[in-house]
Structure 1
Amino acid sequence: MEKFREILRLHELGYSQCAIAQSCAVARSTVQDYIRRASAKGLSYEQLNKLSDSEAQEQLGKGKRKVTQSAEPIDFARVDLELQRKGVTLALLWQEGLDKQQWQCSYGTFCRRYNQWRGQKQLSMRQVYRGGEKLFVDYCGLTIPVVHPKTGEVNSAQIFVACLGASNYTYAEATPSQELSHWIGAHQRALAFLGGVPECIVPDNLKSGVTDPCRYEPGVNRSYQEFAEHYSLAIIPARPSKPRDKAKVEKAVQEVERQILAPVRHEQFTSFTDLNATIAIRLKRLNERVMHGYGLSRQALFEQVDKPALKPLPTQQFVFARWKTAKVNLDYHIEVERHYYSVPYWFVQREVRVKVSEQLIEVFHDGKRLACHERSRVSYRHTTLPDHMPPEHWAYKRQSKERFLAWAQQIGPHTQAQVQAIFDRKDHEEQAFRSIRGLQRLGQQSGSDRLEAACQRANVFGMVGLRRVRSILDTHLDCEPVPTQPDPAPVVEHANVRGPLYYH
């Protein structure tokens, strides 16, 4: 997803520019720039959603990015040492460096680079979380074996843990794996357990949720992003190899492993239902236990701080969907799980994005939806919409005996009789289609009246077929009067002809 859409969506939800910049992994100046451009043009998130990515960028007037030059080296260790002296400031050190021609950067660049260097030092800062602000999520390192009662197959249950930042209120459950469907499903059940929606979720860089674990511009899975949009929250992945970014859930994972998983290490579970029931009982005890240093339990602190600040859950349940990239084949169909779905034929040989949900298959290109099909589980079959077919393909697809007879009936009874006679002479209905299409073309060239007259003459003389009717039209015999019955053959007098009197 393009970052500008997410910036404007979070802005309309009321998030600060700093929070948006952190969620989208962009500079705050970039957030300001997009918000100012959208405000100047009077563009909302809903309006931009109706445009393709290229059209929206054009409306916002965005051009190519400038190439940044490599920064000049600065000894910030010496700068940091000098700052420890009384009365020494960054402004003074920057000016001294300019006078000595040690650097040529601006004061803003000097301060920003110093702060970046200082942030790399292993310093710990106390974090203060507001009620309902952040939910931290992660998986435990420990697993619980689940043994199938009939086959004896062992499945290592993954333990999902979620923890609210302000109250430390914890949720845990066992899932069969850490795949995307189980990852998002655990999120849904965690929010249902909390009874509300926080402002943002801070996950670890799990592959199911974060496609690109970059320190500065992490890529969020498309399905995970749709989950965030459905619940009107922001996804702020923790930095790679920075467990302090999610210290709350790290501590919650430790508590779950010690208070829930370790005591049941000798028990044998035959289903995830039994395992989650056991986890739920021990989780209740964990949340009701008084925390040292707080004087309150997680449950009591949650009721006081987090619960009133949580946003209400959406009325409709989130529908999980996977995304994949596909190329439209020459038959204007794409393949999804061995079934073929149609796309408008003018997108042949183009790459499209496919959203695969439980009930629907949706196809997108350049941010716009091209097609929507009901999902089919029948392998090696086609689902084709008439609007997606070229006109000539649609006309061929609609051919049938009933449609040809209906057309002939509109022309006249003689044409209908001729068409019926053509069908009667063929072993298979489709063998007559070409001949009747030829009659239709004759009707377009010569007119319906002449075609009806030609078919009348052909029927009287027992002539059937396209060539006979065309010959009548070419010789203009359709303009001649048609006898009610053909002339009887002349009687031939001959010795071998007995005649009717012979039988008296």
Structure 2
Amino acid sequence: MSNVLSTDKKQQVISLGKLGWSLRHIEEATGVRRETASVYLKAAGVAVCLPGWGRRAPAKPAIVTPDFLAPFSQKPDAPSVPSPPSASVCEEYRELIEQGLARGRNGKAIWQDLVSDHGFVGDYQAVKRFVRKLRGPQRPEAVGIILTAPGEEAQVDYGSGPMVRDPKTGKYRRTRLFVLTLGYSRKSVRLLVWRSSTRIWAELHEKAFRRLGACPRVVVLDNLREGVAAPDIYDPTVNPLFRDVLAHYGVVALPCRTQDPDRKGKVESGVGHAKRTPLKGMRFESLEEAQGYLDRWEERWADTRIHGTTKRQVAAMFAEEKPHLQALPLEPFRYYQYGERVVHLDGCVEVEAAYYSLPPGWIGRPVKVQWDELHVRVLHPHTNQLLREHLRQKRGGYRIQEEDHPKKMPLSTAQLLRRAAHAGPQTGKFCQLLYDRQGETSIRRILGVLSLMKKYGVPAVEDACAVALDIGVHEYRFVRRYLERRPHPQMFLRQIDPLIRELTEYRDFINLKIKEQPDEPH
């Protein structure tokens, strides 16, 4: 049915409904129609917010009296003489300010550098006016503002970081800047890394949650491959590892619609703020030095600033928002690797050269596999149901549970043994002994014996199997090494052989064909 949502989309709709979002808001964020979302919310026992809830009453009109307007309507008797302009306190720092502008730094970054490094005592407005005078007027752009409740939403994104000397090459290399911004207070966590991957992306979120001491309920992200496996305007697929990390912290991922970066404009502004203000034109000798510089700037300047949109201090708003954030779990997330495997003829899947069994009936079918340092988990490809969980084995080892052994020989195994018997009697006997002694674990070794025929030929493999049976060594490795060390007969080119025709036969054949062709008209 087309109106049946996936498990991830269903949980996303229910989670947003529990946050008190309206059906219209849920439809705009997820692409799920209001009627469909209402059915799932009612089935989960979540109250549906009807249109019009939470709207404020219109403000009452102001009462203006003539006494109130009188002082403002009076005109002065005589025009006042303007006082001569005083010299700016930034005049003596003109050269430093011009150097900062040449490096691309904005007025805020220049003022912070003057205060931190040169003992500047003026305020930011003085530097702002002086920079505006040097640059000339600029027209501001109109932007929309998305309001969120405290503790409800955070936005995440990547940006380009500063140039840092690589310890391996000794050259400066561009880093990546990860930014998480809370939607209500605009409190940000900024972290620098050399590279990105699915695991690094998930670890950065976990580290950001730990720095905040809590976590939001929704994370809005872009459709980058570390977080979204399959972007879609209506039903995006979140990366499994990233989804499980967020689920461990009770957070729901909400990917933006494709080509719609304005949905996460707060973190976009946070990325641009860091790139333009503390990191513009900066170079560092190590990643730790760059991160320390960024953390000090975050504590002294970013958290204490008055935000341009909210007109309030970021640290004060974060203090209001933190009680509304979710508490962190006691244990961190246990990371794993994941992939897809096809079940082999022996009923096992391969993970890092070790083999793990599945229930009967899965031969030739794809499954999902997760593994870490201790365990290997095999999951259903569609429902993610746990099929088997095994302890890790060393390379070449097998882990087969007793109930996974087939009650009778599978048809594919019988066909494989018939192929070996058809190749030669010694080869068939050798492969049958392998299966009788080692069971399902011998399937791959039998396939290895048959593959040797392509390289060395059927007679050579037949002789090697006969030698192995004579001396009682029933191992695939013996047959392979025997063939590798056995001297191969040299081949010589012959001029005369029963298979080579005489040249006179080709001459007579060509003459005969020429005579059979009719003469062409001139």
Q: TM-score range by the shorter chain?
A: 0.5 to 0.7
CA–CA distance in 2 between the matches of 1:153 and 1:340?
Answer: 43
CA–CA distance in 2 between the matches of 1:134 and 1:308?
Answer: 14
Question: What whole-Å deviation, never above 9, does each CA across 1:55-92 have from its counterpart, x for those lacking one?
Answer: xxxxxxxxxxxxxxxxxxxxxxxxxxxxxxxxxxxxxx
- Residue 257 to residue 124, structure 1, CA distance change in 2 (3 Å): closer
Q: CA deviation at 1:396?
A: 5.7
Alignment partner for residue 14 of structure 2, among 8, 11, 15? 11
Asked if 1:333 is matched to 2:348, the reply is yes
Match of 2:151 in 1: 132
Question: What whole-Å deviation, never above 9, does each CA across 1:223-260 have from its counterpart, x for those lacking one?
Answer: 22212221212211122222211110111001111233
CA–CA distance in 1 between the matches of 2:5 and 2:347?
Answer: 27
Match of 1:147 in 2: 166
Match of 1:238 in 2: 256
- Residue 20 to residue 389, structure 1, CA distance change in 2 (3 Å): farther
Asked if 1:343 is matched to 2:358, the reply is yes
Match of 1:459 in 2: none
Match of 1:387 in 2: 403
Asked if 1:262 is matched to 2:262, the reply is no
CA–CA distance in 2 between the matches of 1:32 and 1:295?
Answer: 37
- Residue 200 to residue 38, structure 1, CA distance change in 2 (3 Å): closer
CA–CA distance in 2 between the matches of 1:6 and 1:219?
Answer: 9
Asked if 1:370 is matched to 2:414, the reply is no
- Residue 279 to residue 178, structure 1, CA distance change in 2 (3 Å): same
1:401-480 matches, cutoff 5 A: none
Alignment partner for residue 333 of structure 2, among 285, 303, 318? 318
Asked if 1:273 is matched to 2:292, the reply is no
Match of 1:309 in 2: 324
Match of 1:359 in 2: 374
Secondary structure of 1:260's match?
coil
Q: CA deviation at 1:23?
A: 5.7
Match of 1:118 in 2: none
1:176–1:182 Cα contact (<8 Å) kept:
no
Match of 2:35 in 1: 29
RMSD between superposed Cα atoms in Å:
3.5
In the alignment, residue 209 of structure 1 is paired with which amino acid?
Answer: G
Query: Which blocks of at least 5 consecutive residues in structure 2 are unaligned?
Result: 47-140, 410-434, 440-470, 475-522
- Residue 182 to residue 4, structure 1, CA distance change in 2 (3 Å): closer
- Residue 352 to residue 387, structure 1, CA distance change in 2 (3 Å): same
1:8–1:35 Cα contact (<8 Å) kept:
no
2:303–2:315 Cα contact (<8 Å) kept:
yes
In the alignment, residue 279 of structure 2 is paired with which amino acid?
Answer: L
CA–CA distance in 2 between the matches of 1:350 and 1:314?
Answer: 37
Q: CA deviation at 1:178?
A: 2.1
Secondary structure of 1:347's match?
coil
In the alignment, residue 156 of structure 2 is paired with which amino acid?
Answer: V
1:259–1:286 Cα contact (<8 Å) kept:
no
Query: Which blocks of at least 5 consecutive residues in structure 1 are unaligned?
Result: 41-121, 399-426, 431-504
Question: What whole-Å deviation, never above 9, does each CA across 1:92-149 have from its counterpart, x for those lacking one?
Answer: xxxxxxxxxxxxxxxxxxxxxxxxxxxxxx996432121111111001134433411x
Question: What whole-Å deviation, never above 9, does each CA across 1:288-324 have from its counterpart, x for those lacking one?
Answer: 33225455432222112x2121011122212233432
Question: What whole-Å deviation, never above 9, does each CA across 1:382-407 have from its counterpart, x for those lacking one?
Answer: 33333322246899669xxxxxxxxx
CA–CA distance in 2 between the matches of 1:217 and 1:123?
Answer: 31
- Residue 187 to residue 341, structure 1, CA distance change in 2 (3 Å): same
CA–CA distance in 2 between the matches of 1:186 and 1:126?
Answer: 27
CA–CA distance in 1 between the matches of 2:215 and 2:194?
Answer: 25
Moved more, 30-39 or 272-281: 30-39
CA–CA distance in 2 between the matches of 1:357 and 1:155?
Answer: 31
TM-score by length of 2: 0.54
2:164–2:290 Cα contact (<8 Å) kept:
no
- Residue 8 to residue 253, structure 1, CA distance change in 2 (3 Å): closer
Match of 1:462 in 2: none
Alignment partner for residue 298 of structure 2, among 266, 269, 283? 283
CA–CA distance in 2 between the matches of 1:292 and 1:36?
Answer: 40
Q: CA deviation at 1:185?
A: 0.4
Q: CA deviation at 1:277?
A: 2.6
In the alignment, residue 297 of structure 1 is paired with which amino acid?
Answer: Q
In the alignment, residue 353 of structure 1 is paired with which amino acid?
Answer: K
In the alignment, residue 249 of structure 2 is paired with which amino acid?
Answer: Y
Asked if 1:178 is matched to 2:182, the reply is no
In the alignment, residue 164 of structure 1 is paired with which amino acid?
Answer: L
In the alignment, residue 238 of structure 1 is paired with which amino acid?
Answer: C
Asked if 1:190 is matched to 2:214, the reply is no
1:87-236 matches, cutoff 5 A: 125-148=144-167, 152=170, 156-236=174-254
Secondary structure of 2:277's match?
helix
Asked if 1:251 is matched to 2:269, the reply is yes
In the alignment, residue 28 of structure 1 is paired with which amino acid?
Answer: R
CA–CA distance in 2 between the matches of 1:25 and 1:353?
Answer: 28
Question: What whole-Å deviation, never above 9, does each CA across 1:345-379 have from its counterpart, x for those lacking one?
Answer: 32111111112334322111142211112334x44
CA–CA distance in 2 between the matches of 1:180 and 1:340?
Answer: 25
CA–CA distance in 1 between the matches of 2:247 and 2:27?
Answer: 17
Q: CA deviation at 1:14?
A: 2.1
CA–CA distance in 2 between the matches of 1:302 and 1:24?
Answer: 27
CA–CA distance in 2 between the matches of 1:273 and 1:341?
Answer: 42
1:4–1:34 Cα contact (<8 Å) kept:
no
1:204–1:238 Cα contact (<8 Å) kept:
yes
Q: CA deviation at 1:2?
A: 6.2
TM-score by length of 1: 0.56
CA–CA distance in 2 between the matches of 1:124 and 1:256?
Answer: 19
CA–CA distance in 1 between the matches of 2:160 and 2:314?
Answer: 23
2:160–2:175 Cα contact (<8 Å) kept:
no
CA–CA distance in 1 between the matches of 2:292 and 2:258?
Answer: 33
1:287–1:298 Cα contact (<8 Å) kept:
yes
1:320–1:358 Cα contact (<8 Å) kept:
no
Secondary structure of 2:297's match?
helix
Secondary structure of 1:236's match?
strand
Secondary structure of 2:36's match?
helix
